């Protein structure tokens, strides 16, 4: 029986024929020994073994064979090498404990992944958390996988497997068994957004995590993460309870409540925050305040807290001022005004390069100015170019007026006063009524100013929409109402917007459709969705259908699988405009989820739909779905960017711009570069805009070549209009907000920002309707470090940026010399002039010879004048040699001084996303962030703890000047005065064809 011991022959075995023949022996010992030996050599001799797979299977099926599991393992390996993974997994499961999950071979790792996928599929199909309904063998594999992770100390991997397999019990077990429960809870909260594709299961996970935050013994609750979880569970009561507990606690807990409030505001879900404000319990020392003059209570009215009004020491009132959004908005206004670095000379060069008769580029220049000064309240360019601005007519005038809303965004208290010259006079007096285009643009501007904080302006906008039947005014009023009531679902506003939509006016109906979408953003109310969709099938106006399609897409925001009935109905509609809206609905519903099913659906539409518009929208929507992982998007759309269809190429460019906005991602830049020189003008336009989105707030070393390209496009008189328009828009985006903002579709928590995502979807519709391009301003996020103490004031303090100041400095300002051509123009000098100067010089020399030294000084002066005139008359190299030498000496002296390796940034300071990792608090700093450790931040609103509370605190003085009385100042009054009245309609007459 010595022949039964043959494993040592495996490594040098030339053929497995002998071992295979032993499988047909009758002695069980020989069969078992052969199976064991074949298992050792099957990786190299699987082709021979495969010929006898039926014999191996027969051994496994023999119930009386003692080594059935060994036969199953061998069969599994053979099928693995044959590529039959389903059979390989089946036999691996039959092998029981012999299938060792701790091995690191390709065979084990591949089948483990296959087993987990099969387990997940069964769990998903069962729609239940009951493990008993799942294949017991798969359960055993998964259980052993968890044990392996525990033994190896890979608790983060165990958490990931638990989330993927939907095992909430194992999720809790993995967190509790880890050495650092707090770290594991934070990790689970973070990966929950990317690993969990089902919204329903994600909510179950968040509930479990909140419960663990609250009940785990010996662990300090992370209230910041807890409130983030509660916010996305729409649990206003839970957030209010946590904030009430903290704000009534110790000094540190009060500071933490402020930091949590700022973090919640960053997600821009203001309707939820209004619920929290209403449910906040009053502080212990707070007495009920009397009703306001307008009769409204503080809980029902948004508190318009000015920056100078935050002197109140009542923590509860301060907390409400943060949650209402009034304080953050005012602080951002102060920062953007004080740090404004817009280059007015650059704007003047753009204005000079734009042909006055080209209304498209004129409108783009006005947009560029609005974006470059977004939120800064600086309208200097408008004041200095009133004559040029007054050339705008009709819809160009509508857009120019709306641009004022972008510049003054956030002026919640002064918004109506600022736009006063553009609005109808109260009581019908006070001069002539503005043009309908001016008035409509002003109502749109009010919406931009009060976006997401429009409780106070809603009554006026409603009154304006009802008091006029002019479709232009109604269009502006609808957009303003949608922005002011964003996501609130206000029934009164919905009724008014739907009434305007049903008037069947193309212009007003389009605005009403988009306004309804903004109003119902994220609500997903099926009855109203169906009501709007039914009207789309009734109307014949494409503009109304398109507005309603975009509006329906916005209602699906963040609903994920709950929006599937609406999406399915829209993408299968016979009308391409509704299918277009269906693609946008996929983008809104699955934004930042990376959902594989959504990506597959969009890719299928992108290559199969017969409408170019639908295909373009499908590719563009990929950017929204993948924006949680920007590095994936360039790979997904790489082939689409080379499509023969220019609409698909445009969509690929915009997808990359949306997904990778503000990242400066190298892969995104490489993909967009070839499209900047595309043969089709609108593809170039999209690539320029997308590149600007990617490069915003990046280091100047990376942005400088792109800026030069933009300048070339803008100043080239032969450039096509579409490309020049894209270059001007891109210039506004890359220098947006005084060069102090970036585009942020996601908050620091990783969850999407509702206002930004919704606004970006509407911005993409500038393709059809250019006034919608102003929506991009609502995606801007100030790149600021704003430190606040217990009084929510900005103390004098600083942080240190541990890198060279030039790395993240503002780009150098454009000088007058930059606008000159490289080839200098030589001024012509007439021969008579030269003769006259020579004659004067001769007389001066003769006078000098006669008059002596006193006149010699005059002669020298005359010579100097001659030389100056000659230099002025023509550009020569020799004339500037001395000056050039002097400049070179100064430059050399400057180069000898080494640039410092760090920089102190005073509060408030500009801190770009790329710079944040270099910015730290000094060890001896008096003010330190209340949230320390890995969660500490040096960008955004940072609540600071005073380490020496007994000392006096100096605060930063405000620099933002109040709005001038009577409106937007000279710019507003002059523009309004330049408005021309619409011509009267001709008198009634009868037409007789016989008279012709």
Q: 631 near 621, Cβ under 8 Å?
A: no
788 and 777 together in one domain: no
pTM for this prediction: 0.82
Strands 919-920 vs 741-743: parallel, antiparallel or unpaired:
unpaired
703 and 737 together in one domain: yes
**Weakest-pLDDT range from 217-221, 449-453, 639-643, 748-752:** 217-221
- Is 939 among the domain residues? yes
616 and 764 together in one domain: yes
Q: Which tokens go with 383?
A: 């004041």
Would the pLDDT of 325 be above 80? yes
Instruction: Give residue 184's pLDDT.
Output: 87
Would the pLDDT of 967 be above 90? no
**What share of the chain has pLDDT > 90, as a percent?**
41
Instruction: Give residue 150's pLDDT.
Output: 87
Q: Please give the residue range of the domain that contains residue 799.
A: 783-810+900-957
Would the pLDDT of 822 be above 90? no
- Is 287 among the domain residues? no
Higher pLDDT: 203 or 622? It is: 622
Q: Tell me the Ramachandran region of residue 961: left when phi exceeds 0, alpha when psi lies from -120 to 50, beta otherwise.
A: beta
CATH number, domain at 739?
A: 1.25.10.10
* Domains contained in the chain, number: 3
Instruction: Give residue 823's pLDDT.
Output: 42
pLDDT in tens, 691-707: 999 999 999 999 999 99
Of the three residues 264, 299, 324, the one that is the final residue of a domain is 324
Instruction: Give residue 25's pLDDT.
Output: 81
- Place 49 in a pLDDT band, splitting at 50, 70 and 90: confident
Would the pLDDT of 218 be above 70? no
Would the pLDDT of 72 be above 50? yes
- Place 471 in a pLDDT band, splitting at 50, 70 and 90: very high
- Is 377 among the domain residues? no
Q: Across the strands, what pairs with 928?
A: 945
Higher pLDDT: 225 or 878? It is: 225
From residue 572, give the alpha-carbon distance in Å to each of 468, 564, 569. Answer: 38, 12, 6
3-state secondary structure (DSSP) of residue 904: strand
Would the pLDDT of 251 be above 50? yes
Higher pLDDT: 545 or 875? It is: 545
**What share of the chain has pLDDT > 70, as a percent?**
82
647 and 745 together in one domain: yes
Would the pLDDT of 834 be above 50? yes
Task: State phi, psi for 798 to the nearest 5 degrees.
Answer: -150, 160
Would the pLDDT of 863 be above 50? no
> Cβ neighbours of residue 842 under 8 Å, at least 6 residues apart?
none
702 and 787 together in one domain: no
Helices 85-94 and 136-152 cross at an angle (nearest 10°) of: 80
**Weakest-pLDDT range from 73-87, 349-363, 734-748, 799-813:** 349-363
Average pLDDT over residues 623-631: 92
- Is 705 among the domain residues? yes
**Weakest-pLDDT range from 102-116, 343-357, 820-834:** 820-834
pLDDT in tens, 414-453: 888 888 888 876 544 455 677 889 999 999 999 999 998 8
- Is 98 among the domain residues? no
- Place 875 in a pLDDT band, splitting at 50, 70 and 90: very low
Average pLDDT over residues 230-235: 89
Q: 912-927 in b/e burial notation, b at 16+ Cβ within 10 A?
A: bbbbbebbebeeeebb
Higher pLDDT: 994 or 712? It is: 712
Q: How far apart are CA 676 and CA 991, in angstroms?
A: 55
Of 318, 311, 307, nearest to 251 (Cα)?
318
Instruction: Give residue 56's pLDDT.
Output: 85
Q: CA gyration radius for the chain? A: 35
Instruction: Give residue 896's pLDDT.
Output: 62
635 and 719 together in one domain: yes
Of the three residues 266, 293, 324, the one that is the final residue of a domain is 324
758 and 788 together in one domain: no
Q: Which tokens go with 754?
A: 């509702």
Return the DSSP state at 376. Answer: T
pLDDT in tens, 743-773: 999 988 888 999 999 999 999 999 999 999 9
793 and 917 together in one domain: yes
Instruction: Give residue 307's pLDDT.
Output: 39
681 and 596 together in one domain: yes
User: Mean pLDDT in the chain?
Assistant: 82
- Place 995 in a pLDDT band, splitting at 50, 70 and 90: low
Return the DSSP state at 955. Answer: B
- Is 641 among the domain residues? yes
Higher pLDDT: 950 or 726? It is: 726
Q: Across the strands, what pairs with 781?
A: 742
pLDDT in tens, 903-952: 899 989 999 999 988 999 888 888 899 887 666 788 899 999 988 888 88
Q: How far apart are CA 113 and CA 66, in angstroms?
A: 29
pLDDT in tens, 132-179: 566 788 888 888 888 888 888 888 888 888 888 888 888 888 888 888
Would the pLDDT of 200 be above 50? yes
795 and 733 together in one domain: no
Q: 550 near 762, Cβ under 8 Å?
A: yes
- Is 254 among the domain residues? yes
Q: 748 near 259, Cβ under 8 Å?
A: no
749 and 805 together in one domain: no
Q: How many CB atoms lie within 10 A of CB 6?
A: 18
Q: How far apart are CA 698 and CA 767, in angstroms?
A: 27
Higher pLDDT: 313 or 279? It is: 279
Instruction: Give residue 125's pLDDT.
Output: 66
- Place 848 in a pLDDT band, splitting at 50, 70 and 90: low
Instruction: Give residue 782's pLDDT.
Output: 94
Average pLDDT over residues 613-632: 94
- Is 396 among the domain residues? no
Q: 492 near 459, Cβ under 8 Å?
A: no
Instruction: Give residue 870's pLDDT.
Output: 40
Q: 907 near 795, Cβ under 8 Å?
A: yes
769 and 788 together in one domain: no
Instruction: Give residue 880's pLDDT.
Output: 46
pLDDT in tens, 893-906: 545 678 888 889 99
Q: How far apart are CA 440 and CA 434, in angstroms?
A: 10
Q: How far apart are CA 202 and CA 211, in angstroms?
A: 14
Higher pLDDT: 707 or 26? It is: 707
Average pLDDT over residues 672-683: 94
- Place 828 in a pLDDT band, splitting at 50, 70 and 90: low
């Amino acid at each position: 029986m010595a022949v039964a011991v043959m494993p040592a022959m495996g490594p040098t075995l030339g053929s497995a024929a002998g071992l295979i023949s032993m499988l047909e022996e009758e002695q069980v010992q020989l069969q078992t020994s052969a199976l064991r030996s074949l298992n050792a050599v099957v990786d190299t001799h699987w082709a021979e073994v495969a010929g006898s797979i039926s014999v191996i299977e027969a051994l496994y099926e023999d119930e009386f064979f003692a080594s059935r599991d060994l036969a199953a393992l061998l069969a599994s390996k053979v099928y693995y090498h044959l590529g039959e993974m389903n059979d390989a997994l089946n036999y691996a499961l039959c092998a029981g404990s012999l299938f060792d999950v701790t091995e690191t071979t390709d065979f084990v790792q591949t089948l483990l992944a296959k087993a987990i996928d099969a387990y997940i599929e069964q769990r998903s199909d069962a729609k239940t958390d009951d493990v008993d309904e799942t294949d017991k063998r798969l359960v055993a594999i998964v259980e052993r996988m968890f044990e392996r992770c525990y033994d190896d100390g890979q608790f983060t991997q165990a958490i990931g497997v638990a989330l993927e397999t939907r095992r909430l019990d194992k999720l809790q077990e993995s967190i509790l068994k880890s050495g650092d429960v707090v770290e594991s809870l934070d990790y689970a909260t973070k990966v929950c957004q990317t690993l969990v594709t089902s919204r329903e299961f994600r909510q179950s996970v968040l509930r479990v995590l909140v419960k663990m935050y609250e009940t785990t013994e010996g662990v300090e609750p992370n209230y910041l993460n807890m409130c983030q979880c509660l916010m996305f569970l729409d649990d206003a009561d839970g957030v209010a309870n946590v904030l009430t507990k903290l704000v009534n606690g110790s000094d540190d807990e009060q500071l933490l409540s402020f930091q949590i409030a700022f973090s919640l505001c960053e997600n821009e879900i203001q309707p939820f925050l209004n619920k929290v404000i209403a449910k906040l319990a009053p502080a212990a020392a707070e007495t009920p305040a009397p009703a306001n003059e307008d009769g409204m209570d503080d809980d029902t009215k948004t508190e318009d807290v000015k920056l100078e009004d935050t002197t109140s020491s009542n923590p509860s009132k301060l907390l409400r001022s943060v949650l209402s959004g009034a304080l953050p908005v005012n602080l951002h206004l102060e920062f953007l005004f004080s740090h404004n670095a817009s280059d007015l000379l650059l704007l003047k060069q753009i204005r000079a390069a734009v042909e006055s008769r080209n209304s498209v580029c004129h409108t783009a220049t006005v947009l560029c100015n609005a974006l470059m000064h977004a939120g800064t309240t600086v309208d200097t360019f408008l004041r200095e170019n009133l004559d040029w601005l007054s050339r705008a007519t009709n819809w160009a005038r509508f857009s120019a007026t709306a641009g004022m809303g972008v510049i003054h965004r956030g002026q919640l208290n002064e918004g109506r006063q600022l736009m006063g010259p553009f609005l109808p006079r109260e009581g019908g007096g006070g001069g002539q009524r503005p043009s309908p285009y001016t008035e409509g643009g002003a109502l749109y501007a009010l919406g931009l100013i009060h976006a997401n904080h429009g409780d106070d302006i809603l009554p006026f906008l409603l009154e304006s929409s009802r008091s006029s039947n002019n479709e232009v005014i109604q269009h502006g009023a609808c957009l303003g109402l949608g922005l002011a009531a964003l996501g609130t679902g206000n029934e009164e506003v919905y009724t008014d917007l739907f009434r305007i939509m049903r008037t069947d006016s193309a212009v007003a109906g389009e605005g009403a459709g988009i306004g309804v979408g903004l109003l119902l953003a994220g609500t997903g109310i099926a009855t109203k969705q169906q009501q709007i969709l039914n009207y789309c099938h009734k109307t014949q106006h494409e503009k109304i259908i398109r507005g309603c399609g975009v509006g329906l897409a916005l209602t699906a925001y963040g609903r994920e699988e709950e929006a599937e009935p609406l999406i399915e109905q829209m993408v299968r509609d016979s009308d391409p405009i509704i299918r277009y809206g269906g693609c946008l609905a996929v983008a809104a519903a699955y934004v930042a989820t990376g959902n594989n099913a959504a990506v597959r659906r969009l890719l299928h539409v992108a290559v199969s739909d017969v409408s170019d518009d639908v295909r373009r929208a499908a590719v563009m929507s990929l950017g929204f779905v993948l924006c949680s992982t920007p590095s994936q998007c360039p790979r997904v759309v790489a082939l689409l960017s080379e499509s023969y269809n220019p609409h698909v190429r445009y969509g690929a460019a915009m997808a990359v711009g949306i997904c990778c906005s503000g990242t400066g991602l190298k892969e995104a830049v490489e993909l967009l570069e070839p499209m900047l020189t595309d043969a089709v003008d609108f593809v170039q336009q999209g690539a320029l805009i997308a590149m600007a989105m990617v490069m915003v707030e990046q280091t100047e070393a990376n942005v400088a070549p792109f800026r030069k390209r933009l300048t070339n496009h803008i100043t080239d008189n032969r450039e096509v209009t579409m490309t020049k328009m894209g270059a001007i828009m891109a210039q506004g985006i890359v220098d947006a907000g005084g060069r102090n903002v970036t585009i942020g579709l996601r908050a620091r928590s990783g969850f999407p920002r509702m206002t930004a995502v919704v606004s970006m979807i509407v911005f993409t519709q500038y393709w059809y309707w250019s006034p919608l391009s102003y929506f991009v301003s609502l995606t801007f996020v100030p790149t600021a470090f704003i430190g606040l103490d217990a009084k929510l004031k900005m103390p004098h303090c600083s942080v240190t940026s541990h890198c060279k100041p030039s790395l993240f400095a503002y780009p150098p300002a454009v000088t007058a010399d930059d606008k000159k051509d490289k080839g200098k123009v030589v001024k012509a000098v007439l021969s008579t002039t030269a003769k006259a100067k020579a004659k004067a010089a001769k007389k001066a020399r003769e006078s000098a010879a006669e008059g002596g030294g006193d006149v010699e000084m005059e002669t020298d002066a005359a010579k100097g004048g001659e030389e100056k005139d000659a230099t002025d008359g023509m550009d020569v190299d020799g004339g500037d040699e001395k000056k050039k030498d002097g400049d070179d000496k100064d430059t050399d002296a400057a180069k000898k001084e080494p640039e410092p390796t760090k920089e102190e940034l005073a509060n408030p300071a500009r801190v770009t996303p790329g710079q944040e990792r270099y910015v730290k608090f000094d060890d001896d700093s008096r003010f330190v962030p209340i949230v320390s450790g890995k969660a500490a931040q040096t960008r955004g609103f940072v609540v600071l703890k005073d380490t020496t509370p007994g000392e006096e605190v100096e605060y930063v003085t405000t620099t933002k000047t109040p709005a001038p009385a009577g409106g937007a100042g000279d710019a507003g009054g002059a523009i309004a005065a330049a408005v021309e009245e619409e011509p009267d309609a001709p008198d009634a007459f009868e037409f007789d064809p016989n008279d012709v």
